């Protein structure tokens, strides 16, 4: 590209960009394109999409603001960033809700269209913030009427005004692409693939994208381009992955490598639906996706699929998991292997459907009637979903038990680079089904015992269709060995204790808890799930400041790793940051009688690194 | 090369499990169990290929008493459990055993959806018009005004009619039989087993403890010829001890007429179980004793339509033909990737 004006280039280690506008303005698309382009450019990336529950809230209102944040870096990064270096605001409502996150001296790009009386009123501005020079004092402000510029760019392509205006997100993208010297190629390929069948729309998007890019290149006032070098990631081939996609691919891999068909019984719910959508694309992997009539049918059809001998999975979110409770009890007492995924979101009830929370831990631990233990595993990041879900399947099969798998909206919709594994390196789960019994008419001949147990206390997984193994299972208490219905008091207690011992015994088959940092010191930060990245970064920062702080991130929440109690004992204090009111802390306190300190935030937002660093310092000083 | 070995000759006894049957003495369930065991050996299937799935209630203890594969699941959810099983394993013959409370109240949703999908299931709904296992509350099929423990002043709910529900959900096979009419019951179960798609069978079943005699009008040998009407495909609707009464269509209303005196068999409604249009089957399901009609028993509707379990597996085949057998390496490496040295 020709450079009309002398422009400077500044090198940065990392940057955080946020696009925000009306839901419907295409901010998620802009963010995704910028992420992919940055990943392809070799940066480490972490993203945070944040959108309203309403599909189209009234235009111009604060309720309808949709945002997408991307943190990209030449270093290893774990979070989408605390503060924003460059903010693109498409209207007054987006500006007023997002401006507090823009760092002092940051770049502010504003679409001045809609900064009229009505738009300002809807956003709650009493006067036009673009006037008076207040913003210019704090930020590098660039104002332009993107709507008008986009209309000019697509003029002559025969688009309606509405169609033309829909291209303005591509203008914004082009501008930011120029700012960070990103290639337009991946997005041009995307436009071709996505809009190829509507050539006039494709042409218009290309025109808007290039107009945005050239605007940065040619217009005065844009003096600096920023370069973020490639990250020094471990060698290998990478792709960008979102959490729900990684989860779906992990399921596909686990099924394929254990020679099972994959059955997903699911009912649509945010933010879990994308697992169903992704799996429905991969039917040629012998994947059966069943969109059930409700959550109860989703879980019970999954139990039917597990009885059938296949890899059976159901996926939902908190309110759906509540409905699945009775079915999960049946899965526990029938001792069938299956996975129940809970992509957590804000609760209670419908709560904050599109916002993240970690508040279903106690629900999945205890939310069933009776003594009903289930193993619980939690993913730590989008790409970790791929590995952790395969581990969940191993446990389900080896111990003949339903397994709970926890992620959350932040992990599910967030993305990061995923190093593509060698298929030969992936774990193989060995599935054993009992063979037919030797044929005998002898009265004393051994009979099939559906509730006999192996050394892990797992019962045999005999599948319908196998001759001589006919048996009946169900929700009434089972007699030991035979599986016949039994009301015998001593047998009931024995079975309750056996099922509990089986789940507790999983601790013998999982790794001991690892710790990032010295294995003793002043403070141990314990995290689980989505806050992994923020906690890891915060602890690294605190360590660099000279503090004796270490970090333990739990993948296994039930049972806990065997050394966890002893590990906590080697630190003077234990801090547990959670996006809830202290659910893991409650479990750690009751299990280990440790005086764990909570750091809790329940705002539908992930932790910022800075606030955890602050908390660490506060705890160390007290 | 596979050799087709002859199936071992099975008897009803081979289908009896080693468990004591624990229904109340005199319960209508015994007869249904006996007829099921009698029908099983006639299906040409080894017993390991047969699975019984039930919900909760007296009828739902059924799987424990059959020496096949089985699952006693949870309230109302048997059709959903069976759906997961049958989707994965179309080779199995799957029976759903349910009752009026289990199937129409707590599980009404699943029943409706299993039927509309035309999943290849055989659903047998034992209708005794009462909650038996919870000791005698009114059920969704109890008549209005029914006095029970939970409705001491009489039920104010309007009853559901299982066959009307099934036909409303476009069931491809719908039939009714009576626990004590054992020959008819066995034949009906056999027809259900042979049907490809959802077969829905309502069985009038007596609860002699909490609702004794609910179906007496249809069972009493002195009255049943006048209160029931045996459906036969292609035959006119004739009933009565002397087979002298029939059903004629008057506009959209069925009408009981006396044969002779100007009304011939040809004037009557002829039964067509294969009619694509379910309206006549629905009309038959609305003929009630209390409205002065004989209640039809037998097969109301038996039509062929694509089955869900076939179609979901066909899609897998189709996808495999289009994309080849799923290859993980290909999946992981497709689309935008980059190398880090």
Encode pLDDT of B262-290 as tens digits. 999 999 999 999 999 999 999 999 999 99
Of A228, A253, A268, the position where a domain reaches its end is A228
Q: Reduced to 3 states, what is the DSSP secondary structure of residue A404?
A: strand
Q: Do A288 and B87 touch (CB under 8 A)?
A: yes
pLDDT of residue A5: 61
Among candidate residues A464, A606, A460, A479, the one with its CA nearest the CA of residue A535:
A606
**How much of chain A, in percent, has pLDDT values that exceed 90?**
94
Residue B207 has pLDDT above 60, yes or no: yes
What's the whole-number mean pLDDT along residues A411-434? 96
User: Within this chain, do residues B70 and B41 fall inside the same structural domain, yes or no?
Assistant: yes
Of the residues A44, A258, A280, A297, the best mutation for testing chain B's interface (the one with the most B CB atoms within 10 Å of its CB) is A297
Going through A287-344 in order, the beta strands assigned E by DSSP cover 287-291, 311-316, 338-344
- How many structural domains does chain B have? 2
Q: Do A307 and B81 touch (CB under 8 A)?
A: yes
Q: Tell me the residue range of the domain where B258 lies.
A: 236-270
Confidence of residue B2 (pLDDT cuts 50, 70, 90): low
Residue B128 resides in a domain: yes
Residue A495 resides in a domain: no
Q: Do B86 and A304 touch (CB under 8 A)?
A: yes
Q: Do B336 and A40 touch (CB under 8 A)?
A: yes
For residue B313, which residues of chain A lie inside 8 Å, CB to CB?
Answer: 288
Contact B146, B159 (CB under 8 A): no
The residue in chain B having the minimum alpha-carbon distance to the alpha carbon of residue A40 is B338
Of A283, A334, A420, the CB nearest to B315: A283
Give percent helix, percent strand, percent coil of chain A, each to the nearest 5.
40, 25, 40
Residue B19 C-alpha, separation from nearest chain A C-alpha, in angstroms: 8
Which of B7-16, B91-100, B321-330 comes out lowest in average pLDDT?
Answer: B7-16
Look at strands A338-344 and A311-316 and give their pairing.
parallel
**How much of chain B, in percent, has pLDDT values that exceed 70?**
98
User: Within this chain, do residues A199 and A252 fall inside the same structural domain, yes or no?
Assistant: no
Confidence of residue A130 (pLDDT cuts 50, 70, 90): very high
CB under 8 A, 24+ apart: contacts of B67-70: B67/A470, B67/B14, B67/B15, B67/B16, B67/B17, B67/B18, B68/A470, B68/B15, B68/B40, B69/A464, B69/A465, B69/A470, B69/A471, B69/A472, B70/A471, B70/A472, B70/A473, B70/A474
For residue B48, which residues of chain A lie inside 8 Å, CB to CB?
Answer: 464-470
Q: Do A303 and B73 touch (CB under 8 A)?
A: yes
A·B CB contacts under 8 A: 209
Distance of CA A154 to the CA centre of its chain: 37
CATH code: domain of residue B25: 3.40.50.970
User: Within this chain, do residues B213 and B94 fall inside the same structural domain, yes or no?
Assistant: yes
- Per residue in B95-132, pLDDT (tens digit) is 999 999 999 999 999 999 999 999 999 999 999 999 99
For residue A305, which residues of chain B lie inside 8 Å, CB to CB?
Answer: 84-85, 87-88
Residue B21 has pLDDT above 90, yes or no: yes
Among candidate residues A171, A117, A181, the one with its CA nearest the CA of residue A142:
A171
Residue B3 C-alpha, separation from nearest chain A C-alpha, in angstroms: 17
Residue A216 resides in a domain: yes
User: Within this chain, do residues B111 and B243 fall inside the same structural domain, yes or no?
Assistant: no
pLDDT of residue A440: 65
Helix axes A185-195, A199-218, angle to 10 degrees: 160
- Per residue in A58-92, pLDDT (tens digit) is 889 999 999 999 999 999 999 999 999 999 999 99
Q: Do A238 and B337 touch (CB under 8 A)?
A: yes
Contact B114, A334 (CB under 8 A): no
Q: Do A472 and B17 touch (CB under 8 A)?
A: yes
User: Within this chain, do residues A181 and A278 fall inside the same structural domain, yes or no?
Assistant: no
Contact A290, B83 (CB under 8 A): yes
What CA–CA distance (Å, rounded) separates A256 from A427? 11
What CA–CA distance (Å, rounded) separates A468 from B67? 10
- N- to C-terminal Cα distance for chain A? 57
User: Within this chain, do residues B20 and B153 fall inside the same structural domain, yes or no?
Assistant: yes
CATH code: domain of residue A530: 3.40.50.920
User: Within this chain, do residues B154 and B23 fall inside the same structural domain, yes or no?
Assistant: yes
Q: Do B331 and A252 touch (CB under 8 A)?
A: yes
Residue A31 resides in a domain: yes
Of B48, B312, B329, the CB nearest to A423: B329
Eight-state DSSP code of residue B235:
S
Residue B183 C-alpha, separation from nearest chain A C-alpha, in angstroms: 28
For residue A236, which residues of chain B lie inside 8 Å, CB to CB?
Answer: 339-340
Q: Do A284 and B85 touch (CB under 8 A)?
A: no
Alpha helix stretches (DSSP H) within A367-506: 384-399, 409-413, 489-504
User: Within this chain, do residues B70 and B157 fall inside the same structural domain, yes or no?
Assistant: yes
What's the whole-number mean pLDDT along residues A375-393? 98
Q: Tell me the residue range of the domain where A536 lies.
A: 521-621
Of B51, B69, B336, the CB nearest to A239: B336
What's the whole-number mean pLDDT along residues A41-66? 91
User: Within this chain, do residues A200 and A250 fall inside the same structural domain, yes or no?
Assistant: no
H/E stretch holding A523: strand A521-528
Residue A145 CB neighbours (<10 A): 16
Among candidate residues A154, A182, A163, A211, the one with its CA nearest the CA of residue A26:
A163
> Strands of B245-250's sheet, edge to edge?
B238-239, B245-250, B253-258
What's the whole-number mean pLDDT along residues A399-422? 97
Contact B101, B81 (CB under 8 A): no
pLDDT of residue A54: 86
Residue A145 resides in a domain: yes
Residue B84 resides in a domain: yes
Q: Do B332 and A239 touch (CB under 8 A)?
A: yes
Residue A480 CA: distances (Å) to CA of A230, A268, A450, A457, B22 = 60, 38, 9, 12, 20
Residue A2 has pLDDT above 80, yes or no: no
CATH code: domain of residue A349: 3.40.50.970
What CA–CA distance (Å, rounded) separates A318 from A265? 16
- Per residue in A306-315, pLDDT (tens digit) is 999 999 999 9
User: Within this chain, do residues A213 and A263 fall inside the same structural domain, yes or no?
Assistant: no
Mean pLDDT of all residues belonging to chain B: 96
What CA–CA distance (Å, rounded) separates A589 from A608? 25
Mean pLDDT of all residues belonging to chain A: 95
Residue B324 resides in a domain: no
User: Within this chain, do residues B201 and B243 fall inside the same structural domain, yes or no?
Assistant: no
Distance of CA B33 to the CA centre of its chain: 14
**How much of chain B, in percent, has pLDDT values that exceed 90?**
96
Of B72, B313, B331, the CB nearest to A472: B72
pLDDT of residue A57: 84
Helix axes A27-40, A168-179, angle to 10 degrees: 30
Of the residues B18, B19, B63, B71, the best mutation for testing chain A's interface (the one with the most A CB atoms within 10 Å of its CB) is B71
Residue A349 resides in a domain: yes
A4 burial via Cβ count (<10 Å: 0-12, 13-18, 19+): exposed
- Per residue in A211-243, pLDDT (tens digit) is 999 999 999 888 899 999 999 889 999 999 999
- How many structural domains does chain A have? 3
Tokens 């099975």 — which residue? B10
Residues 6+ apart with CB under 8 A from B113: A292, A293, A297, B79
User: Within this chain, do residues A129 and A99 fall inside the same structural domain, yes or no?
Assistant: yes
pLDDT of residue B6: 63
Residue A612 resides in a domain: yes
User: Within this chain, do residues B139 and B263 fall inside the same structural domain, yes or no?
Assistant: no
Of the residues A464, A475, A484, the best mutation for testing chain B's interface (the one with the most B CB atoms within 10 Å of its CB) is A464
For residue A263, which residues of chain B lie inside 8 Å, CB to CB?
Answer: 84, 87-88
Q: Do A256 and B328 touch (CB under 8 A)?
A: yes
Residue A559 has pLDDT above 50, yes or no: yes
User: Within this chain, do residues A125 and A191 fall inside the same structural domain, yes or no?
Assistant: yes
Q: Which two tokens stand for residue B147?
A: 């006095």
Among candidate residues A577, A597, A576, A602, the one with its CA nearest the CA of residue A344:
A602
What CA–CA distance (Å, rounded) separates B282 from B275? 12
Residue A374 has pLDDT above 90, yes or no: yes
Confidence of residue A7 (pLDDT cuts 50, 70, 90): confident
- Per residue in A228-281, pLDDT (tens digit) is 999 988 999 999 999 999 999 999 999 999 999 999 999 999 999 999 999 999
Of A312, A470, A475, the CB nearest to B69: A470
Residue A4 has pLDDT above 90, yes or no: no
User: Within this chain, do residues B131 and B266 fall inside the same structural domain, yes or no?
Assistant: no
User: Within this chain, do residues A95 and A184 fall inside the same structural domain, yes or no?
Assistant: yes
Confidence of residue A53 (pLDDT cuts 50, 70, 90): confident
pLDDT of residue B4: 63
User: Within this chain, do residues A139 and A213 fall inside the same structural domain, yes or no?
Assistant: yes
User: Within this chain, do residues A70 and A175 fall inside the same structural domain, yes or no?
Assistant: yes
Of B84, B92, B331, the CB nearest to A301: B84
Q: What angle do CA A120, A18, A385 make, to 5 degrees?
A: 135
What's the whole-number mean pLDDT along residues A369-396? 98
pLDDT of residue A299: 98
Residue B144 resides in a domain: yes
Residue A519 C-alpha, separation from nearest chain B C-alpha, in angstroms: 32
What's the whole-number mean pLDDT along residues B29-55? 97
pLDDT of residue B261: 83
Of A375, A395, A421, the position where a domain reaches its end is A421
User: Within this chain, do residues B160 and B86 fall inside the same structural domain, yes or no?
Assistant: yes
Q: Which two tokens stand for residue A262?
A: 């994959």
User: Within this chain, do residues A285 and A198 fall inside the same structural domain, yes or no?
Assistant: no
Residue B72 resides in a domain: yes
Which one is predicted more confidently, B5 or A473? A473
pLDDT of residue B1: 46
Residue A518 C-alpha, separation from nearest chain B C-alpha, in angstroms: 30
User: Within this chain, do residues A171 and A274 fall inside the same structural domain, yes or no?
Assistant: no
Name the region of B298 (left: φ>0; alpha: ψ -120 to 50; beta: rest).
left
Residue A131 CA: distances (Å) to CA of A114, A118, A126, A128, A507 = 14, 16, 12, 6, 63
Among candidate residues A22, A14, A25, A71, the one with its CA nearest the CA of residue A48:
A71
CATH code: domain of residue A65: 3.40.920.10
User: Within this chain, do residues A326 and A293 fall inside the same structural domain, yes or no?
Assistant: yes
For residue A234, which residues of chain B lie inside 8 Å, CB to CB?
Answer: 340
User: Within this chain, do residues B174 and B258 fall inside the same structural domain, yes or no?
Assistant: no
Of B63, B92, B318, the CB nearest to A465: B92
Q: Reduced to 3 states, what is the DSSP secondary structure of residue A605?
A: coil
Residue B250 resides in a domain: yes
Q: Do B88 and A261 touch (CB under 8 A)?
A: yes
Residue A173 resides in a domain: yes
User: Within this chain, do residues B184 and B246 fall inside the same structural domain, yes or no?
Assistant: no
Residue A437 has pLDDT above 50, yes or no: yes
Residue B108 C-alpha, separation from nearest chain A C-alpha, in angstroms: 11
Residue B288 C-alpha, separation from nearest chain A C-alpha, in angstroms: 31
Residue B315 resides in a domain: no
- N- to C-terminal Cα distance for chain B? 52
Residue B296 resides in a domain: yes
pLDDT of residue B341: 84
């Amino acid at each position: 590209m020709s450079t009309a004006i002398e422009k400077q280039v500044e090198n940065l280690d990392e940057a955080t960009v946020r696009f925000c506008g009306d839901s419907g303005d295409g901010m998620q698309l802009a963010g995704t394109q910028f992420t992919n382009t940055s990943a392809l450019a070799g940066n480490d990336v972490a993203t945070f999409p944040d959108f309203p529950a309403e599909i189209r809230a009234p235009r111009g209102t604060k309720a309808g603001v949709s945002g997408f944040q991307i943190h990209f870096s030449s270093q290893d990064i774990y979070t989408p960033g605390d503060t924003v270096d460059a903010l693109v605001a498409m209207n007054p409502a987006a500006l007023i809700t997002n401006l507090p996150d823009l760092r002092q001296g940051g770049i502010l790009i504003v679409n001045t269209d809609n900064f009229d009386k009505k738009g300002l009123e809807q956003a709650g501005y009493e006067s036009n913030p673009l006037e008076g020079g207040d913003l210019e004092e704090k930020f590098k402000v660039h104002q332009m009427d993107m709507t008008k510029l986009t209309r000019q760019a697509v003029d002559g392509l025969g688009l309606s005004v509405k169609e033309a205006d829909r291209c303005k997100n591509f203008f914004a993208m082009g501008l930011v692409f120029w700012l960070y010297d990103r290639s337009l190629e991946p997005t041009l390929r995307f436009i071709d693939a996505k809009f190829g069948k509507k050539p006039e729309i494709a042409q218009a998007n290309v025109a808007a994208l290039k107009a945005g890019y050239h605007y940065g290149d040619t217009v005065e006032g844009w003096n600096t381009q920023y370069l973020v070098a490639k990250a020094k990631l471990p060698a290998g081939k990478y792709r960008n992955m979102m959490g729900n996609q990684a989860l779906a691919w992990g399921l596909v891999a686990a099924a394929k490598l254990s020679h099972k068909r994959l059955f997903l019984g699911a009912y649509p719910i945010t933010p879990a639906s994308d697992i169903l959508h992704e799996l429905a694309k991969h039917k040629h992997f012998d994947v059966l996706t069943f969109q059930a009539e409700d959550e109860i049918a989703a879980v019970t059809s999954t139990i039917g699929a597990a009885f059938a001998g296949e890899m059976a999975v159901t996926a939902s979110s908190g309110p759906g998991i509540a409905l699945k409770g009775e079915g999960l009890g049946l899965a526990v007492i029938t001792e069938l292997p299956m996975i129940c995924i809970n992509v957590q979101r804000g609760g209670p009830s419908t709560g904050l459907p599109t916002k993240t929370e970690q508040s279903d831990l106690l629900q999945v631990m205890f939310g069933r009637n009776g003594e009903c233990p289930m193993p619980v595993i939690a993913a730590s990041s989008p790409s970790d979903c791929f590995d952790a879900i395969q581990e969940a399947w191993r446990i389900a099969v080896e111990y003949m038990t339903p397994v709970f798998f926890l992620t959350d909206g932040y992990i599910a919709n967030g993305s990061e680079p995923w190093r593509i594994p060698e298929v030969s390196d992936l774990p193989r789960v060995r599935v054993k089904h009992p063979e037919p019994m030797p044929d005998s008419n002898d009265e004393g001949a051994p009979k099939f015992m559906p509730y006999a147990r192996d050394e892990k206390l797992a019962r045999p997984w005999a599948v319908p269709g196998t001759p001589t193994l006919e048996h009946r299972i169900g929700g009434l208490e089972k007699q030991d060995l035979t599986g016949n219905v039994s009301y015998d008091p001593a047998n009931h207690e024995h079975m309750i204790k056996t099922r509990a011992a089986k789940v507790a015994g999983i601790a013998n088959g999982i790794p001991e808890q690892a710790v990032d940092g010295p294995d003793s010191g002043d403070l141990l930060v314990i995290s689980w799930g989505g806050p992994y990245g923020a906690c890891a970064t915060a602890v690294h920062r605190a360590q660099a400041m000279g503090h004796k702080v270490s970090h333990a991130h739990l993948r296994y929440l039930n049972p806990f790793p065997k050394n966890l109690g002893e590990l906590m004992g080697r630190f003077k204090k234990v801090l547990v940051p959670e996006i809830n009111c202290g659910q893991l802390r409650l479990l750690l306190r009751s299990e280990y009688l440790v005086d764990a300190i909570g750091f809790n935030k329940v705002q539908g937002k992930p932790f910022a690194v800075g606030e955890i660093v602050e908390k660490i310092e506060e705890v160390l000083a007290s | 090369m596979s050799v087709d070995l002859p199936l071992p000759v099975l008897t009803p006894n081979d289908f009896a499990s080693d468990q004591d049957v624990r229904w109340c003495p005199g319960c209508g369930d015994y007869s249904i169990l006996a007829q099921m065991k009698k029908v099983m050996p006639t299906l040409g299937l080894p017993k390991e290929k047969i699975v019984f799935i039930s919900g909760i209630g007296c009828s739902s203890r059924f799987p424990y008493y059959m020496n096949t594969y089985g699952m006693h699941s949870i309230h109302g959810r048997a059709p959903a459990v069976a759906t997961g099983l049958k989707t994965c394993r179309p080779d199995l013959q799957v029976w759903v055993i349910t009752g009026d409370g289990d199937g129409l109240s707590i599980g009404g949703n699943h029943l409706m959806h299993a039927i509309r999908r035309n999943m290849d299931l055989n659903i047998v709904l034992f209708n005794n018009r009462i909650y038996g296992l919870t000791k005698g509350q009114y059920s969704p099929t109890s008549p209005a005004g029914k006095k029970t423990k939970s409705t001491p002043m009489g039920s104010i709910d309007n009853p559901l009619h299982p066959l009307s529900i099934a036909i409303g959900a476009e069931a491809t096979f719908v039939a009714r039989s009576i626990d004590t009419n054992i020959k008819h019951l066995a034949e009906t179960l056999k027809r259900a087993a042979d049907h490809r798609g959802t077969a829905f069978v309502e069985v009038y079943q007596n609860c002699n403890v909490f609702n004794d005699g609910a179906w007496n009008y249809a069972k009493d040998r002195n009255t049943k010829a006048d209160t029931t009407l045996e459906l036969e495909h292609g035959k006119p609707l004739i009933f009565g001890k002397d087979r002298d009464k029939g059903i004629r269509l008057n506009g959209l209303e069925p009408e009981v007429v006396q044969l002779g005196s100007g009304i011939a068999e040809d004037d009557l409604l002829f039964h067509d179980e294969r009619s694509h249009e379910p309206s006549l089957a629905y009309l038959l399901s609305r003929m009630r004793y209390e409205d002065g009609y004989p209640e039809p028993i037998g097969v109301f509707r038996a039509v062929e339509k694509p089955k869900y379990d076939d179609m979901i597996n066909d899609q897998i085949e189709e996808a495999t033909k289009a994309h080849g057998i799923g290859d993980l390496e290909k999946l992981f490496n497709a689309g935008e990737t980059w190398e880090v040295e």
